[in-house]
Structure formats: C-alpha cells, structure tokens
Structure 1
Amino acid sequence: MPDGTPYNTRFGDRYHSELGGLDQARQVFLGGCGLPAAWADAAQWRILETGFGLGLNFLVTWAAWKADPRRPRMLHFVSVEAHPVSREDLLKSLPADETLRPLGEQLAAQWWGLLPGVHRLSFDDGQLLLTLYIGDAKTMLRKQQLTADSVYLDGFSPQLNPEMWDEDAMKNIARHCHRGTQLATWCVAGHVRQALKAQGFEVKKRTGVPPKRHNLHATYNPAWEPRHRSDGLPAPVSQASRCLVLGAGLAGAAAAASLARRGWEVTVLDAAAAPAAGASGLPAGLFCPHISPDDSVLSRLSRSGVRATLQNLQQLSQANKLQPSRDWAHDGVLEHDLNEPSHLPKSWLQPGSDTYPWGLHWSAPVQPAQLSAAHLPADSQAVWHEQAGWVRPAQLVQALLQSPGIHWQGHAPASRLLRDPLRQLWQVQDAQGQTLAEAPMLVLALGPDTKPLLRASGLASGEWELQAIRGQVSVAEHDARTLAAMPPFPVNGHGNLVPDFPSASHAGAHQWVMGSTFERDVTALPPTAADQQAAHASNGEKLAALLPGCRQALHAFFEAAQPPATWARVRCAAYDRLPLAGPAGQTADELPGLWVLTGLGSRGLTLSLLCGELLAARLHGEPLPLDAKLAQALGTQRLWSRALQQPR
C-alpha cells in the first residue's frame, strides 16, 4: 500500500495499520475479553486468536501482561495464520510505540521457518508462549487440541474471507471453549452473531472503535453441557505443588525446568555424585533437523525440537548460565549423505508454494563454498542445515538445574517406587527400603534404568518395549595440525563429527569428537579393551567416508597401538525410535501422578527440551508445543498397545 502497510493479495485487503490497529487491539480484543482484569492471579491464561496478521494483538497483549503485577505465571497466546507475512514485512510494520517496538523486534528474531504446521515461540524466559498454527483456520483448529480462556475472533472481512466467519468456523471455535470463555471481535455481521448464538454463546453489541459504531462481545454459556474430545490423559492439575524427577540427564533436567517454570518445587534425584553422569555427559553433541522427501513424523518432530533447543540455549545464555562458543554454537551443520542424495521436499524449492522460502530457513541445498570448507569434492551429495549446531550436554544440564525451584539430590540410587494412597504420595526407596524422597508427582527420566525400576516396583509398565543401546565415541585433544584439518562446522551423516570445542579438563585446550557406535542390548561399562578397539575402528571408518581429509589428519590417533579409551555410555530407545513423554498408567487414573520422559536415543539434544514442554503441557491442560498428531506419536499408549500384544 502507499502508506507502507502490507497488503494481502489473496483476500484483496490490507492488514491493520498501526493507526487503527493498536486502538482495535487494546479496546476491541484485550478490553473486549475483560483483560487484564480477567486473568488476575491465575496460574495460566490461554488466548486463542483466529488471525495473526502483523501481530499487533499479540504485542499489545504481551505488553499488558508484562505491565500487570497480578499477571498469570504462564500466558499462552495461540494464533492461526494461513499466510504468514515475511520477516521483512513484519519488521516494516512494527509500531513506533516505545513499549511495543522492542517486543516486536523480539518477535521478528524468532520469525523464521514457519512451514505449515505448529510452531512454538518462547519469550520472557519461557513464561509467555506464542503457538502459531500455520494453515487454514478450519483445518488447523479441527486438528489441534487446546482450551481457550479468551478468544480474539479476527481476520479479513466476511465479504473477502467468508469461510473464516461461517457457522462451521464458529463451531470450530466453540470446540475450544469452556463455559465462561470470553470472545471479542470487531465484526457485528448478523450471520456471525447468529452462528455464535447457535453454538452456545451469549452475544452482545458494544460501542465500537471509530469509525465502527459497534463491536461484539460473547460469553460461552451453552444451555447444554459442553462435551470435549477426550485425549485419555489424567485431568489437568489445578495448581503446581511438589514433584520428584528421577534422573539428572537431559530428559530429567528438561522436565524439571519446564515444571519449575510453572511453579513446581522440583527435587531431582540421581544415583551419581553429579548431574549428567550418564549418556548426557557426552563431551559434545549435535542438535539438528532430520529431512525426508515426504516430510515424515521424525522430520517434523525434529524441527519442533530444534526450535525448542535453540530457544532454551539463547535464554540460558542471556541469563549468563551458558556461554556461546564455549558451551554451544549455532553455526549450522553440513549433512554429507554417503548412500543416496538427501532429498528436501520439492515444494521447499518452488517459489509461490506455501513452504517457500520457509523450508529453506531450515535446510537447503549445499553451497560450493561449504563443500570446499569441508574439503569435499564439488559433486558430493550434501545438505546444509542452517538451524543446527553443537552443545556440551553436561553444561546444558547444569544450567537447566539452576532454575529457581529446582533442588538437586545426588547419591540417591532408587531401587523401588511405592505409592501411599492415603496421603497420595509417591515414595522413592533405596535398596535398604529407606525412603529417599516423596511427593505427589514423580517423573521417571532414567533412560535405560527406567524399565528395570518399573519392573522392580511391580508396575505393569515395566513390560514396555524399551531397548538399551551402548554408544562409544572417539575423542581427543587437538594439536595445531589436526585443528587445521578440521572443517569450520560440524558434519553429520553416517556418524557425526564435532570438530572443535573447548576441553572440559584442560583450560585453553580444544577437542574433537567422532561417533557413535550403536550396540543394541549391550549395557556393560566400561567396555572391554577389545570393544573399545572395535569402536575406534568403526568410528574411524565412518570418518573416512564422511570427511576423508579429517580421517587422514587423525591417522596417528586411529592407527595407534593403544589409542585413548573411548567415551562410552548407555542410551535408551523405544521400538519405533521416538521419545516417550506421558503418564505411566494404562488408563488416566491407574497410576496417578506417575509420568515418564525417556527413549530419547541419540537425539537427546534435539528432542529433550521439547519433550519436557510436552509433558508439562499435558499435565496442565495447556496448548501443546507441537502438532497434536506428533504429540500423540510420543504418547505412552503406543507402548501399552505393544505390551498387550506380546505373548504371555
């Protein structure tokens, strides 16, 4: 438009400008839903918006939340947007208001990779969560699971976008309301009022924002008892209390941090003397998206996980709990495919598609300069993952456990779980039958020790199909020659190399790490000398195929008669190689308060923080941090189904 306001060519209409949009956001939507007064002293508040546009409603709501001393601890803002504007248009349209503009700049910093689906953006240390449903409003709201306390009914006008305002659309909105949910909109069209009334809303006209004479306010209060689709989960907790987390690796730290953020007092117990003593003590590892031509479950899940990991790393760095370049780096990862080309979804490469250019924000065809930097031939099959990097997991675990509300308790080996039904407490006992700790809620995040503990406690979930997998990596410090031979970024494929990260034991020294082996149903630690020699040989072969130049530079290491010991630990994976995050009981009330987060396999850095948020969301009845179908794929019911199918 001549005034610089972005214009939507699909609907022949422009987005609200700052001039009228801010008044509308404050008076029609925020004020129309009785906010901020309605959310005073609530533990959480959930807002659903039907058209994100340029984000003015979100920014105004965010600012009101920040300024309110009685604000809810957690604010969820869920917004549907079929055609997100570009980051450039978002930046151009930021309001000049000195309160809102800095918030808009934070929003723009996370405004990337918005492929069709669900995206969780995190602000203010994870206490304000923006969940974007990218896609057609009817389709997205039909597929997703959420309950809203307030509804901002927004979007292009009914004349230009009638499907957004018809009876089916209002039915979709009602599905996500509870009795008392407040709804506000600028649209007072008769058919919209009638559609809302038919779905159980009490509708009233109110004085509008000029030049409109009226806007609309509605309260969900149907004459019938609302029925909502059951997800098979326990009823959401009404308030946070005390929780135990068994296991101080990535899974346990992620669960503890997500719960503490919501007000829980969390005690993390582990048999070891320090956190991250198991597989999460890996010297360094990668967080990286998976790609597939059909954009599979794992591909979509990994992108949600990478975004969650990045947000946490950035927030922990802003709090000075992690140091970029020392503890982690977001420099991208080169995927070198050895067997067949890594195919990106075709639509990612097609201008004009709903996925272009958003998909290329995640992963793109490799550039010649990137192959050259890795000393690979120009015809190598490779992909560049822009949103990827490396982390030292132990440092991440330590940073997460520093969150307010978390207490660490080492030297606490759990041998049995008991539930006191009278006091409604879970007790963790040691081998002598002494109680180590007790609380109303317990999260098992013990990796390969999860299944043995469930069995020892006589719980049927001990029959779940979980597999222990030993992994060994080759790791050593650099000298000048080996450091010079390394690429400036990590490389993965069949195995992965983190080429340069600070040594944990020698100040000023740098290391490389290559691996890992996958030794299924092997748990012996430490590995025998023969096993370590075989692991070094395997890692060396992988490196020779992945980066021949690096393997040649490390000849003295891999060909030594007695190379240094491998770093070895045992991981845990489910039969389908997807994580497990949900209640431990077969039914919603079988094992009240007992939850599990495990099965991360070799993708702990990519998926642990997402799974921690998923567990907390399910526990509290929050909007989910990822697509509902993906969340279902991580549920416990699939393991129960497998267990019940096994012959007795």
Structure 2
Amino acid sequence: MSEPVEWLPDGTPYSPRFGDRYHSENGGLTQARQVFLHGCGLPAAWAGQTQWRILETGFGFGLNFLVTWAAWRADPARCTLLHFVSTEAWPVGAEDLLRATSVHPELAPLARELHAQWWGLLPGVHRLSFEGGRVLLTLYVGDTQAMLRQQMPAVDAVYLDGFSPQRNPEIWDSHTLKAVARCCRRGTRLATWTIARAVRDALAQCGFEVTRAPGVPPKRDNLHATYNPHWEPRTAAQAQPAPRPPGECFVIGGGVAGAATAASLARRGWRVQLLDQGDAPAAGASGLPAGVFAPHVSPDDSLLSRLSRSGVRATLTQARALLREGLDFGQTGVLERHAADKVRNKALPASWADGPGADWSQPASDARLAQAQLPAGTPANWHPHAGWLRPARLVGQLLAQPGITWHGGSHVSRLQRKEGADGAWQALDATGRVLAEAPVVVIAAGADSRTLLNNHWPLQALRGQVSVGTYGPGEAPLAPFPLNGNGNLVPDFPLSGDGDGPRAWIMGSTFERGLTALPPTPAEQQEAHTANFTKMQGLLPPAAERLQADFAAPAGRMRTWAAVRCTLHDRLPVVGPVDAAALPGLWACTAMGARGLTLSVLCGELLAARMQGEPLPLDAKLAKALGAERLASL
C-alpha cells in the first residue's frame, strides 16, 4: 500500500504516521528554492560541470527535485548530467503526489512527467530518467541510513530534509548524518531548514563546518554547512576508483548492448566510435524481428528478479522516449504461463498482493486468461509494464544520438594496448590494420566477445531459432498480448515501418548449446520449427491448433530466423572493467543471453555510471553480482 496522506482544510498534505505536515506553511516552493537550491549554491555551482550530484534525505512529494529540475532546465550554463539521489522510506501514492505538486503551475508539466514514472516502488533502488537521460532521479526506498551505507553515492550537494527532528528523530540522528558524510567529498555543501542544536552538533562531529543563514519566514534561521573535516576521511569518493572524465572511446558491437552503452556514454559527453562487422546496426542477435521484455519473478525475489525489474523500467523508459508505440514497441502487458512443475517457483512474494509489487506482477485474472482463450484457473502471472519491442528500431534510435560515429564492416580480430604513457587501446583487423584507437574500449560483441577477450572468461555460445509467420488480410492475431513461459510468443507486430504493411507473429526460441553455424541447415530449421511448435502447444494451445498446418508445411507462410547469443554459467551479464589493474581502460558489457531486451539498456547505464563514478542505477549488490570479479576463479 502507498503511504497514507491526509489533506488539511488549507490543502496542505499531512502525514498520520509522523503527525506532521509534509512541507512548511508557505507551501514548500519557497523553501525548496531558498533553503535547499540556493542554500547549496545552485545553480551557479554546477555551471559548466560535466555532472552534478545531489543527495536528498526524504523525497516526500518531490518538490525539491522538481524545483531543482526546473532550475537546471532554465540554466544555459547547466551541467551536462544532473543526478538527484533521494531516500524515502514511505513513498506516497501517485495520485497524492500529483495533487501536491501540480498546484504549482510552473512545475505542473514536470510533475506530470514524474507522476508517469511513479509506480512499482518496492524497497530498493529505482532509477527514473528525464530529459532524454540527462536528468536522473535515483530513489532509495528504505531506511535512509541503511540505504546510504549500502549504496554510498559520491555527491556534490546535500539537501538535508524530512519531518521535524521531534517527529522523526531517526533521519536526523548522528548515525544517519555519519552515513550522509560518507557520501560527501571535501567541499560538498549541505543545506537544511532546521537549526536544532543536536543536528548542528552532529554535523560538526561528522566534519561539517556549520553556519546559520537567514531563514524563510516564519523561520528566522536555516543551516548551511560545508564538508571540510580536520582529518582525512574515507568517503565514497575515496572508496571508488578515480572516475574517468569524458573523452574518446570505442565500442565493439552494434547490437542493443553496444548501442545502449554508446548512447549512455555519449549523453555524458564521450565521443564514441562504434565498430561492428555488419554493414548495418543490429546485424547479429539484435536483429530479432521482435521480442519480449518482462520481469522475472520468484517467491524469494531473487537477484535475477530484482535485476530484471530494473531492466524493464530502463527499457520501457528508453522505448517511450525514442520509439513509436504500436509500431516499434508496445507496453501491452505480458502473460506468463507456468508449466505444471514450475508453479511453485513462479509464485509471487506474499507481500505483493496489495502493494507496489502488484504494479510489476500479479496473478492472472480469469478475465485476462479468457482474452488469451485459456481456461479459468490456468496458472499464470500478468506483468502490466512488460511488452514487445523491435530491437533493431531501438538500436537505430540509440545510435542516432549526437556523439556516436558508426563504423560498419569493421571486423575486429584482436585488441592490443600501445606502449607508452597514454596506453591507448587499438582495434585491429585480420591484416593488422588499426580500425580505431582510444584510451577506453568497451567489448559488447555478444558471442564474438570470447575471441576479443582471448577466452578470458568462460563465455558460452548459444544459437537460437525462432519461427516467424505472417497474417493474411483481415486475419485476427493469435492473442491480444505476448505470452511467455517455456518460450515466448509475440502475437502481433508490423513488418513495415509505417504499420500499413503485413503483420506477423514470432514464436521461440530454441536453445542450441555449442552451435554457432549460420544459417542453420534446412534440417536444423525444420527441427527448430518442431521445437517451437511444441512450446506453442504448451504456451497457447488455441494458437498451436490454428497454426498446425503451417508448422507441418513451414515453407509456405513461415520462416526461421537464427542468431547466436552469448551466456555465462550463472545466466547473468558481465558489466564493468575486465581487469582494472592488469588491463586498464578495457571494459565489457556482454553475456546478455536470452534477456538482452530486458537488460541491455540498464547495463549500458551501469557501465557508464561505474566508469564515471556516478550513483549507480540499481542496487549496489546487484551491480557487484554483474562485475567481472565473480569470474576470477573460473
């Protein structure tokens, strides 16, 4: 359930939990500007910076975020990238948030954008993206102290906010303020509305130089502070590798993972060359005609389940920003059907029934099952924010962003590092010709990553084949939305760019370990059709019955499409430096396996965040689980 909010007669929101107003008597807007934004020296402090990172304790209705975003928008000297990190133990409901923020006309358009992404806020880390990825809101849903100790973002400014120390003492106590201090660099500025003696003393003990400043009426004073301890601190900035400033780099691989990585870096000011052996982008596994993006579920909410949710949000945000709904993607929802022996493994966490978990996944209703012509009571989950996507369209839009130069027909045979002070990396073709040179290289080449990494990791090749069929004029789709489980079905997507041409369905995929030959032989293609038909019989029997003749004689309206994917033993991607000590500047974003559409956009953001020392877009434990360090002993 969302945090309950009461509305006072004057229209002010009130928290029954803490017995306090959510913002001051003046409506909060003046406080957000004068106390927090200007109290931290903004917008002047971020002028000309490549990025600026703000930490807020207590998101509430987001007024401080919206005011900061509006100031960034209006500033011609704004930083390239604005990070706003905020903690919130008790997120309010989406409608209450919109009601509280849209009363300010100058903020109403931004409030509506925030409201559109305000869903599914389970405990953990959520990345919301605005302004084409240049304004990033990272929400830590949970206890402030615990979340800051876990994530340790390095920040340039702190908005110390929350209900009054008398009503919510935990967010102001010395342990929480120590966690805040560990996120600061020397010179980080902090502002708050309270002048409580205990808060002033705790900040001083944590290394802040504290001063009083004129307050916003009716308060006489506010607090300003600068982090400048008399000792050498070990903060988030010191604990992380030195971030790289934007410069030159090249990415190998023109699929979704490579394009997403290139786009994430380009947004931050990097000049990216993208090399691919294909003549056009998405020539490999990302050339799949259409695929499904959906969350993984498990009763214990496993690592993969949490990772997939972050991936779905990232993919959906990018699709909405870059693609045409109905033509390039569709947030149609996805029905996940469970095999009889998998029902227990696909149960949803018990706490999800009436909370934000239901935004992600819920037991499929009989009405939803009937839409797919499945019997009432069929074991299945419904994922409302899942859908289908044409990956080549996404790749094309990602690569169209400024700062990226495409180099097709570039077959990289090996990498070598130049001797000398700069230690630049070179990409060489089979003849030894240098195709690209830069201090940083990212390998995102799918199954070809094995060769480029000299088999540094036990990457596995996995060929997959899907069956694709077209509809005749006026022929009804097989189902109103995609289904997945043992295989997946996208029942209806356009083959043409304008949607006026033929429509198609796609079913698959096979998992052919150790096979890499393309195209498959006619016999292998027939075997793939047979395997996909068997999966369709288990997934959607009415569709299988309708297409039985087509699968029996696939040479008519059906064809196979095949590609080779890249996986690891634990079914997780690898994202980060290959070996920071021995191979500086060499990074990887690969091994997406069968979840490339769900995870690639998120992984591109994760790589860019790690490279630049930014707040991470997901739980730090998940980021660590994707790191190359886990492969050192294999």
**TM-score for the superposition, normalised by structure 1:** 0.94
Q: Structure 1's 427 and 18: CA in aligned 2 closer, same or farther, altered over 3 A?
A: farther
State the alpha-carbon separation in 2 of the partners of residues 231 and 510 from structure 1.
55
- In the TM superposition, 1:367-386 aligns within 5 A as 367-386=365-384
Identical pairs, percent:
61
Q: Structure 1's 230 and 537: CA in aligned 2 closer, same or farther, altered over 3 A?
A: farther
State the alpha-carbon separation in 2 of the partners of residues 477 and 86 from structure 1.
43
SS in 2 for 1:602: helix
State whether residues 158 and 189 of structure 2, in contact with CA within 8 Å, keep that contact through their aligned partners in structure 1.
Answer: yes
Match 1:246 to one of 232, 242, 252: 252
How far is 1:421 from its partner? 3.1
Q: One-letter code of the match for 1:573? A: T
State the alpha-carbon separation in 2 of the partners of residues 453 and 63 from structure 1.
45
State whether residues 80 and 268 of structure 2, in contact with CA within 8 Å, keep that contact through their aligned partners in structure 1.
Answer: yes
- In the TM superposition, 1:171-570 aligns within 5 A as 171-228=178-235, 234-237=241-244, 239-316=245-322, 322-339=323-340, 340-341=342-343, 342-349=346-353, 351=354, 356=355, 358-422=356-420, 423-455=422-454, 462-479=455-472, 483-484=475-476, 486-504=478-496, 508-560=501-553, 562=555, 564-570=558-564
State whether residues 58 and 88 of structure 2, in contact with CA within 8 Å, keep that contact through their aligned partners in structure 1.
Answer: yes
- In the TM superposition, 1:595-606 aligns within 5 A as 595-606=587-598
SS in 2 for 1:306: helix
Instruction: Identify which range, 484-493 or 427-436, moves more after superposition.
Output: 484-493
Instruction: Identify which range, 254-263 or 223-232, moves more after superposition.
Output: 223-232
Residue 319 (structure 1) aligns with: none
1:612 partnered with 2:604 = yes
Q: One-letter code of the match for 2:476? A: A
State whether residues 485 and 550 of structure 1, in contact with CA within 8 Å, keep that contact through their aligned partners in structure 2.
Answer: no
Q: One-letter code of the match for 1:401? A: L
State the alpha-carbon separation in 2 of the partners of residues 529 and 233 from structure 1.
53
State the alpha-carbon separation in 2 of the partners of residues 431 and 231 from structure 1.
42
1:581 partnered with 2:575 = yes
Deviation track 1:222-261 (CA, whole Å, cap 9, x = no partner) reads: 1111113699864201x21111010100110000000000
Residue 92 (structure 1) aligns with: 99
Unpaired segments of 5 or more residues in structure 2?
1-7
State whether residues 233 and 618 of structure 1, in contact with CA within 8 Å, keep that contact through their aligned partners in structure 2.
Answer: no
State whether residues 485 and 553 of structure 1, in contact with CA within 8 Å, keep that contact through their aligned partners in structure 2.
Answer: no
Q: One-letter code of the match for 1:130? A: L
Instruction: Identify which range, 181-190 or 91-100, moves more after superposition.
Output: 91-100
Q: How many residues align?
A: 621
How far is 1:96 from its partner? 3.2
Residue 135 (structure 1) aligns with: 142
Residue 459 (structure 1) aligns with: none
State whether residues 233 and 583 of structure 1, in contact with CA within 8 Å, keep that contact through their aligned partners in structure 2.
Answer: no
State the alpha-carbon separation in 2 of the partners of residues 617 and 554 from structure 1.
46
1:572 partnered with 2:578 = no
How far is 1:525 from its partner? 1.2
Deviation track 1:531-574 (CA, whole Å, cap 9, x = no partner) reads: 11111111000001110100011112111175654211000011
How far is 1:166 from its partner? 1.1
Residue 81 (structure 1) aligns with: 88
Q: One-letter code of the match for 2:449? A: T
How far is 1:406 from its partner? 0.7
Unpaired segments of 5 or more residues in structure 1?
317-321, 456-461, 643-648
State whether residues 234 and 589 of structure 1, in contact with CA within 8 Å, keep that contact through their aligned partners in structure 2.
Answer: no
Residue 645 (structure 1) aligns with: none
State whether residues 485 and 549 of structure 1, in contact with CA within 8 Å, keep that contact through their aligned partners in structure 2.
Answer: no
Q: One-letter code of the match for 2:563? A: R
SS in 1 for 2:320: helix
**TM-score for the superposition, normalised by structure 2:** 0.96
State whether residues 184 and 235 of structure 2, in contact with CA within 8 Å, keep that contact through their aligned partners in structure 1.
Answer: no
How far is 1:6 from its partner? 2.4
